[in-house]
Structure 1
Amino acid sequence: MSDQFIKTVTKNKYFRAYALNGTQFVREAAATHETSRLAAVVLGRGLLATTLTAQSVLKGEERLAIQINGRGPIGNVVAEADAKGSVRGYVTNPQLEPIFDADGKLDVAQAVGTNGFLQITKFAPYANPYIGQSQLVSGEIGDDFTYYLAQSEQIPSVVGVSVYMNQDDTVEVAGGFLVQALPDATDEAIDDLEAALKNMKPLADMLVAGYTPLEILEEIFGQGEVEILQVAGVGLAAEPTKAAYRDMLTTLPAEEVQAMIDEDGGAEIVGKFSGKRYFFTADELREIVIEINDKNYD
């Protein structure tokens, strides 16, 4: 089953709510980056939270990039997403050894750290990027996105994300939800939501039990209390082709490309988001130098 995202509104029009099953794309990202057990959870949570946030704040051709730097041993958590459901990301230290908390569970907060910021940059066609930033509050990622949306976007929100791992360090299930208060939400409705979130089943348990995105939201609001506005697929963004990277090389000064020939006899490009490697021979680079010079001559 492919990954699925839903956008809903509660029937009382007090809340907008999103949920997704991102098992496949988190599993693929973890395998691509050959992550350790802990790094897979951190990366997965970052991808899930970024996807949910993108779906809630973007439209059309807009996209956003997030960076979490809590000065923990995982390093930076980086992700990008667009309004169409594509996401990609990486962590600086994908082979981080396990760190456990007092209960013997993987300690995401210690891996990420809390001495830093979550920064989100929104890109829109024909407009300057908008950069928002907030202090990390827990390092658990979901809480940090919740705080960012309340502080930088002025939207009272709750973000929940979870990645559950198999014994062989592969991803079993991954998913999450995002709830945002609408302008008509009453104080009583918000209090009821807080109580429901406190008393709901653990998100990981629901995912393992096979809850659909709709069933996760109904666990919060009650069966039949949300109206589905949109159902869409989500997944990892396509990796640029070698031809696309070649186009990028043609934007460099000719002397920089020539230096790759003279010093290295070619060039290797490694995609940060995919880990894929593309090699350009000296002859291929010479063709690019000619193309750059012809373009500049024109």
Structure 2
Amino acid sequence: MVDTLIRTITNDNNFRVIALEATDLMNVANKFHDATTLGTEILGRALLSSLLVSNAVLKGDERLAVVIDGKGPAGRVVVEASATGEVRGYVENPRVQVPLNAKGGQDVATAVGNDGMVSVTKQMDAYSEEGGNHVEQYTGSVELLSGRIDDDLTYYMIKSEQIDSVVVVSVDVQPDGTVKSAGGFIVSALPDASKEALDAFYEQAKNLGDMSVLLAKGDGPVAIVKALFGDAIKVLSTTEVNLFPSITKREYARMLMTLPLEQLQELLEDDHGVEIVDKFTGEAIQFDASELQVIIGEKAAEGLN
């Protein structure tokens, strides 16, 4: 089954529900990172939670960046996600290992830590008479609540976006590092939702059970939404979810062009080239001396310093 994200609304217009399954995406992402089982679960929880939030607060081809820094042994967790279903991310220390938690599971909260912040930077389409159509950045930050990531982005939605929401994700990683299932949902209250409706939903969410069991049914994200609200939903749209395409070597060359000419000359004379490592994929991009000389020549020809 193709990894998908669905946007739905309840028939009573109390809630918007976005749910996704991204098992295949996680297994592809896992190949890029030499991660422990714990590192894979952290990455998965961050990718899925960020995708859900991006589709809840963005539109069109807008995107956001999530930075989670809880001062834990996993280091920073960085994710970029779009409203069109694309995502990428990395864990600063993917080889992280900590003792299992009291329930015998991977202790994501301890590995990520909660002595820090989660920051969300949105790149949003804007218009002004002076500048016309353009992109503006907005950053919101909240203290980390637990380090479990979905809890923390729930807190972000409530405090920064001012939307009553619940984000829940599940990433089932096998001992060999493969991902058996990965999915989740974000439920956001619409303006007319009553306190009674909110209380009823929170109670239902508590009794949802193991999401990996729902995903095993093969119905994808629809199974998640139906477990929460039965058939009382309308599906508004369905989107495939994928990793962002890898950055091309030519794009990296353009990035090198932004460096001062003096710094490029130093790289050529001292190192005889440069290696750039893509943190999102772990891929090393090499520019040898001749390629670096071409970049220097192009920059000089344009009269740039």
Match of 1:34 in 2: 34
* Alignment match, 1:49: 49
CA distance in 2, matches of 1:54, 1:162: 18
Question: Which runs of structure 2 are paired with 1:175-190 in the superposition (5 Å)?
Answer: 175-190=183-198
Separation in structure 1 between the aligned mates of residue 46 and residue 191 of structure 2, nearest angstrom: 28
2:175, 2:112 → 1: CA distance? 22
Who is 1:207 aligned against?
Answer: 215
What value does the CA root-mean-square deviation take over the aligned residues?
1.4
Write the deviation string for residues 184-210 of structure 1: whole angstroms up to 9, x where unpaired: 101111111011111222223322443
* Paired position in structure 1 for 2:271: 264
Match of 1:107 in 2: 107
Percent identical pairs in the alignment equals 43
| Aligned position for 2:239 | 232
Question: Does the Cα contact within 8 Å between 1:253 and 1:292 map onto a contact in 2?
Answer: no
Aligned position for 1:81: 81
How far 1:297 sits from its partner (Å)? 6.6
8 Å CA contact retained: 1:10, 1:227: yes
Say if 2:50 and 2:66, in contact at 8 Å, map to a contact too: yes
Shift of 1:211: 4.3
CA distance in 2, matches of 1:52, 1:200: 18
Match of 1:97 in 2: 97
Give the SS at the match of 1:284: helix
Partner of 1:94: helix, strand, or coil?
coil
| Pairing 1:166–2:174 present | yes
Partner letter of residue 24 of structure 2?
Q
1:61 Cα deviation from its structure 2 partner: 2.9
1:154 and 2:162 matched: yes
The aligned amino acid for 2:186 is: L
Distance in 2 between the 1:282 and 1:202 partners? Answer: 54
Q: Say whether residues 1:219 and 2:191 are aligned partners.
A: no
Distance change >3 Å, CA 18–CA 297, structure 1 → 2: closer
| DSSP 3-state at the match of 1:128 | strand
- Structure 2-normalised TM-score? 0.94
1:250–1:292 CA contact under 8 A, matched in 2:
yes
Give the conservation status (yes or no) of the 8 Å contact 1:37–1:98: no
Report the Cα distance in structure 2 between the residues aligned to 1:156 and 1:247, rounded to whole angstroms: 42
Per the normalisation by structure 1, the TM-score is: 0.96
Give SS of 1:179's match.
Answer: strand
Structure 1 gap segments, 5+ residues each? none
Q: Which moved more, 1:120-129 or 1:19-28?
A: 120-129
- Residue identity matched to 1:90: Y
Structure 1 outlier segments of 4+, above 4 Å: none
Number of paired residues? Answer: 297
Measured in 2, the distance between the counterparts of 1:286 and 1:263 equals: 13
In structure 2, stretches of 5+ residues that fail to align are: 126-133
